[in-house]
Structure formats: structure tokens, C-alpha cells
Homo-oligomer: A and B are copies of this chain.
Amino acid sequence: MHKGFTLWFTGLSGSGKSTLSERIYRRLAAAGAKVELLDGDEVRTHLSKGLGFSKEDRDTNVRRIGFVAELLTKHGVIAITAAISPYRDTREAVQARIGTYVEVFMDCPIAVLAERDVKGLYKKALAGEIPHFTGVSDPYEPPVAPDVRVDSSSEDIAVSEARVWALLQDRGLIPVSW
């Protein structure tokens, strides 16, 4: 029916990872896929409680998500992850272990994120009140060659969803009839 693979979203807070990943998740589930969404909150509760925001702790968090995604992928499940995953070498290490891995880079300009500021975090971070805020006071290393690049400031989410979906079909990971 479908292959096991990992669909890995990466990008800054507020860039649309959760929104787009949930749309893809629901569409796959509705089509009857074996699919699991490892969203940030679930992961923090079950895998990474107690970790902070140092590079080491962020990497540990990302590697744990990667370990679970790897197990699911290996057994034919579609694993969707939506963590910031700011460090390039860590994403690449996870990708190398998983094998069948599709990366979606949510590449929204920081000016737009700060303008939207849904959770009020960018304002605080830009005022220097949040010491390890990715993209402001902590690094974000963009993917060099993501499979899909989405700028949620300029692209309608239905278009982004269609582009991701078409790529999964082009790669033979899900049926073209879906």
C-alpha cells in the first residue's frame, strides 16, 4: 500500500511545521495509511522531559525523535516529525540512519514570524528576554538541499500540502491513486 518513510519538518517556531504536518497526517490517515505524527508536545512529554536548550540537549531531543522515527520507518510505518531541529549535522545523522527520509524546510522570513508572533515569543526574544530562542538568540542552520522548501509567508497552505503530496507520489512512497 505504502512504503515506510519519515517525513521530517524543520524550521523556526511559528513557521507552520505543526499546521502543515497535521494536514498531511490527517490526509494520510484518511487514506488508510499507517502513520504516526511525532509532534513537539508528545515528544517532550514522553521522550525528552528534562532536556533544555543547549546544543547537546537539542541534539539529544532530535536524535531520540529520529530513533523512534527510524523504528517506525523500518516496520513500514510513515513517521512524521515536526520539531525545530536546528542543527544541520544532527539532521543529516538522523537522515543517514533512517534511510527513507523526506525533508520539508519551512522557510518563513523571521520578519514575518516576528510580525505574526502568535505566542508572543519573538517579541520577548528580540527584546533579549529569551536566552536560547532559535533564529534570534540561538542558531538555526537551514537545510542545504531540502526535498521541499515552503515559505508559509507567501504560499497558500493548500498549495504546500499538494506539493508535499505530489513529491511522495513521485518518489513511489504512496500510491498515485491517493
Contact = CB atoms under 8 A, between A and B. Distances in A.
Interface of A: 34, 36, 46-47, 49-50, 60, 63-64, 67-68, 71-72, 74-77
Given A71-B72, A72-B75, 18 more contacts: A34-B75, A34-B76, A36-B71, A36-B74, A46-B63, A46-B64, A46-B67, A47-B47, A47-B64, A47-B67, A49-B60, A50-B60, A68-B71, A71-B71, A75-B75, A75-B76, A75-B77, A77-B77
A159 B166 CA distance: 53
> This chain: how many copies in the complex?
2
A124 B71 CA distance: 37
Contacts of A60: 49-50
Nearest to A36: B71
A50 B64 CA distance: 13
A75 B35 CA distance: 8
A163 B50 CA distance: 40
A12 to B, nearest CB: 26
A67 B50 CA distance: 16
A49 B56 CA distance: 12
Among A49, A75, A77: residue with most chain B CB under 10 A = A75
A1 to B, nearest CB: 12
Contacts of A50: 60
A62 to B, nearest CB: 12
A38 B16 CA distance: 34
A67 B34 CA distance: 17
Contact of A75 (B36, B47, B63): B36
A147 to B, nearest CB: 23
Nearest to A77: B75
